[in-house]
Amino acid sequence: MFSKILIANRGEIAVRVIRTARRMGVRTVAVYSDADANALHVAMADEAVHIGASPVGESYLRGDRIIEAAKATGAEAIHPGYGFLSENPDFVDQVVAAGLVFIGPSAASIRAMGLKDAAKRLMENAGVPVVPGYHGEAQDIVVLASKAREIGYPVLIKARAGGGGKGMRRVEHPDDFPDALSGARREAKAAFGDDRVLVEKYVEKPRHIEVQVFGDNFGNAVHLFERDCSAQRRHQKVIEEAPAPGMTAGMRKAMTDAAVKAAKAISYSGAGTIEFIVDASDGLRPDRFWFMEMNTRLQVEHPVTEMITGVDLVEWQLRVAAGEKLPKSQEEIALSGHAFEARIYAEDPQRDFLPAIGTLHHLSFPAQAPAGSAMRIETGVRQGDAISPYYDPMIAKLVVHAEDRHPALHALATALKNTEIAGSVTNIGFLAALAQDADFAAGDVDTGLIGRKQVALTETPQPDATIVARAALAASGMNSVSSDDPWASLTGYSHFHPIERQVSLHRGAKELKASVAAEGNGRYAVRLEGFPSVALTQADLAGTVAWPGHVAVFAAGIAYTFTVPDPFASAAEAEAGAGSMRAPMPGLVKLVRAAQGDAVKKGQPLLILEAMKMEHTIAAQHDGIIADIALEGAQVTDGTVLVRFVEEVSA
């Protein structure tokens, strides 16, 4: 076994690897960028090496610096985690050439499966079913459009490199093909450095079911059952579960046999995932699944497999890379219970899941698992950490396990409702709503479920009078939340009249005014405009947090956040108003589709903003004439004015 390894990654997965390595007595070396100097994975590792500036191209994608760090610290092997360099065969070659061990598959295996078109031809030759489509080399639009017509609409344009839903477009009609192809190519180029695509038949009721496989260097390969990852938005996974709901013995055998066959076809070593697309229009049938791609690394959702099998996949990775045989045979791997994983992100579901940034002023996960379940929290952040615009905005993965699907799903919903995060908008409320959706609960899920129900799933109830009153009390400073607050010692004391304070809260553009009166003995009366007086006690402030200029109240998984205006601050920030459009997040202006002086209509695409390697179209919010528009290639921050209008034209 290795005595020291370097982890060529950051955040949650780096922390995950460190945890197993520590249990096995293996020392760890972390690498970090400028933005991650104080990150959790850096603090947890035995050693840490700075490798560059915050952008990934200057740090986590610098394989040369990572290898130098490994050699300088005496690490014997490099664990790539997922993302970044984990599926880069050139990096694997460099690691091996430097006399180090890559904790993962060989460069040859990664190359065999790295390009979706070549991988599908290989799988066809190995007898693994593949989805109908065009996987050839020709990339001219005339050829691709012709193949799309042959396949039959709707079709799916997919980047042949990478994954994670990037470089992917569904096309319903031939007229939409050129624009969809251009968008997919741009996104693929930005994410993977390769703009080549393939075209496939779009399955009308698709489920995404994948099989965890594991191989060693002695020709052995096993599966660890399947995971269902059909709950997706924009082709990115949201909630994963294992096993797949509705799975039959015949279907499982067909899929797992095909997955092991695929792994053996490329002499695979290490952890890998064979992803299948399943036509669920007539239930799960052994003749209705097709190979999509292989992820030649550990998956983000690997904890659900660990929960149902009791296997530590990171430990297996280390053992196999160190030259050991697989710890268990296929017959020794058993499936027990049901597990879910929910990915908690800093993103705004009500704004089409736009990535968000911010400081995690409050971060609290349930102290214990709901009754009858087990729970684990996978995270790479702590309270007080910042969500950076440079990296994936995942905050944590909440994983639960119970004896069956229904209690496991109940445990997931309960744990989500008891998770409190403030300082950045998150998707927790959306995840809790999805966990309680009737179709999802029934196992009737496909990759379009979230899209069909997005409005209902992302709808946030307006705060009721009690929630607003709790926020007003916290903002008033009259409670004893902070022992340093001079008002705390005066609570309830007055010669003639109750102590009272006026509070102004803002939620979005709406101002909420309240009057808070201390009545003694930890009791308060809060009067709100338009509502009867609300009686509160100190205990009612549980689930309420405040930080400079803000207060958040948690209820049923939702963080109701209010801003508390500074009465001494200038009120004049009048520059833009309705006459301009601002960037909804930090990003790069990738493409500009309008110019100064253009008359544009409401809904017309004006520019494309790239953030987190995904493209977001910024469309006109009203008719108008453009006075100024951002330049292509401009790097903008959240709130930067992108478009300014000289005149509004009534519709």
Distance between CA atoms of 78 and 558, rounded to whole angstroms?
40
Would you give the DSSP letter of residue 487?
Answer: T
The span from the CA of 502 to the CA of 372, in Å, is 46
- Residue 164 Cα distances to 84, 226, 280, 309, angstroms: 12, 18, 22, 25
The pair of three-digit structure tokens given for residue 83, joined into one six-digit string: 């993302």
**C-alpha span between 275 and 268 (Å, rounded):** 15
- State residue 32 phi and psi, 5-degree precision: -155, 155
Q: Are 430 and 454 in contact (CB under 8 A)?
A: no
CA–CA distance, 650 with 8 (Å, rounded to integer): 55
- Going 293 to 295 to 299 to 300, the CA torsion angle's sign is negative
Please give the backbone phi and psi of residue 498, each rounded to the nearest 5 degrees, phi first: -60, 145
Name the active-site residue from 65, 288, 297, 343.
297
8 A C-beta contact, residue 6 and residue 36: no
CA nearest neighbour of 545 among 556, 560, 535: 560
Provide DSSP, 366-425.
Answer: -SSPPTT-EEEEEES--TT-EE-TTS--EEEEEEEEESSHHHHHHHHHHHHHT-EEESS-
Quick check: 21 and 318 in contact, CB under 8 A? yes
Q: Which residue has the tokens 């660990």?
A: 306
Contact 28, 314 (CB under 8 A): no
Residues 6+ apart with CB under 8 A from 131: 120, 200, 201, 203, 277, 290, 291, 292
- Distance (Å, rounded) from C-alpha 304 to C-alpha 302? 6
User: Is 288 designated active site?
Assistant: no
Token pair 């496991």 in the structure block, residue: 408
Given a contact cutoff of 8 angstroms between Cβ atoms, the answer to whether 417 and 356 are in contact is: no
- What are the catalytic residues? 297
